[in-house]
């Protein structure tokens, strides 16, 4: 019987990604090196390589590192297959029945949201949020709900300047400062709103689904036609218990 071959660089790389995934926000390189026992020269080489491939990002103006879009893609891939979509599907269906509006469930994937469940309400228009569709997170109710729940440093790393902001209808934040204002409003209200930023004539309200650490694992949303006179706060009050139920089933957590 032969011993398994040792690959120190692979081991250190995986430990770096695992550590960053467990943090509430970006951390200093020195902290990473000290906690994992990786020499500084090796650490910066590994971080630079991970950054080239999009697995980590350096927060502009700070010596801190966080997970990048490629790492989020791995998490989104898992969520598409297990257990979030499977557990969330009946909850989303029940939510659509209860609210009488179309409902969906999405996860973050870099600067996009990826829709993994959709339930269209009867006599409501078709949406662009079909399963597998990606949309810019800063324009959607689901994306804003998740971004508002992320550490501010992580949001800055994702949206360092105006070039990071995609546009669909000419509405929505186009610069970091505008996004900060939007997310501040989400935190105050307890839910996110979208008003024609993705499709003119449609509005959405979204609520984050948090894991056992408080991290936004996903978000649920309701979408309705602008002219239907639905109240966003009332729909958010229907949406919040559904998000809480998904949290309870997945992570055995209860909202206060």
CA distance 113 to 47: 25
User: Using one digit for the tens of pLDDT, what is the confidence trace for 114-123?
Assistant: 899 999 877 7
Residue of 146 and 22 predicted with greater confidence:
146
72-251 shares the fold of 8-67: no
> Does the pLDDT value for residue 1 go beyond 50?
no
Give the CA radius of gyration of the chain: 19
Rounded CA separation 20/36 (Å): 11
CA dist 134 and 36 (Å) reads 35
| Fold that domain 72-251 belongs to in CATH | Beta-Lactamase (3.30.450)
Check residues 142 and 56 and name the one with the higher pLDDT: 142
Whether the Cβ atoms of residue 116 and residue 88 lie closer than 8 Å to each other: yes
pLDDT digits (tens, 9 = 90+) for 59-103: 766 778 888 767 766 665 555 545 788 889 999 999 999 999 999
Cα separation, 166 vs 155, in Å, equals 15
162 and 174 in contact (C-beta within 8 Å)? Answer: yes
Contact (CB, 8 A) for 112 and 135: yes
CATH 1.10.10.10 fits 8-67, yes or no: yes
Whose structure tokens read 């040792």? 6
Say whether pLDDT at 221 is over 90: yes
Q: What is the pLDDT of residue 9?
A: 85
Domain ranges of the chain: 8-67, 72-251
Q: What is the DSSP string of 129-152?
A: --TT-EEEGGGSHHHHHHHHHS-H
- 217, 84 Cβ separation under 8 angstroms: yes
* pLDDT (tens digit per residue) in 161-170: 999 999 999 9
Q: From the centroid of its chain, how far is CA 105?
A: 11
The confidence score (pLDDT) of residue 256 equals 57
Question: In the structure, what pLDDT confidence band is assigned to residue 2 with cuts at 50, 70 and 90?
Answer: very low
The model's pTM is 0.71
Q: Partners of 225 in the beta sheet?
A: 202
Average confidence (pLDDT) over 134-145? 96
CA-to-CA separations, 78 to 31, 85, 198, 217, in angstroms, rounded: 28, 10, 26, 11
What per-residue confidence (pLDDT) applies to 78? 57
């Amino acid at each position: 019987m032969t011993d398994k071959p040792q690959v120190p660089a692979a081991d250190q790389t995986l430990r770096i990604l695992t550590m960053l995934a467990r943090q509430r926000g970006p951390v200093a390189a020195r902290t990473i090196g000290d906690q994992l026992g990786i020499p500084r020269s090796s650490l910066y080489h590994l971080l630079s390589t991970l950054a080239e491939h999009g697995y980590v990002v350096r927060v502009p103006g700070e010596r801190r590192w966080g997970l990048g879009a490629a790492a989020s893609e791995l998490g989104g891939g898992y969520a598409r297959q297990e257990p979030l979509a499977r557990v969330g599907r009946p909850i989303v269906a029940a939510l659509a029945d209860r609210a009488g509006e179309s409902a969906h469930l999405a996860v973050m994937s870099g600067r996009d949201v990826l829709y993994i469940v959709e339930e269209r309400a009867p006599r409501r228009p078709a949406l662009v949020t079909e399963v597998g569709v990606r949309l810019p997170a800063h324009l959607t109710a689901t994306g804003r709900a998740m971004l508002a729940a992320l550490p501010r440093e992580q949001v800055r790393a994702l949206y360092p300047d105006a070039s990071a902001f995609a546009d669909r209808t000419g509405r929505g934040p186009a610069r970091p400062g505008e996004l900060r204002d939007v997310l501040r409003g989400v935190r105050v209200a307890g839910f996110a709103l979208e008003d024609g930023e993705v499709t003119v004539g449609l509005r959405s309200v979204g609520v984050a689904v948090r894991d056992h650490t408080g991290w936004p694992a996903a978000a649920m949303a309701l979408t309705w036609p602008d002219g239907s006179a639905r109240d966003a706060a009332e729909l958010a009050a229907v949406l919040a218990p559904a998000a809480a139920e998904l949290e309870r089933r997945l992570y055995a957590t209860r909202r206060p």
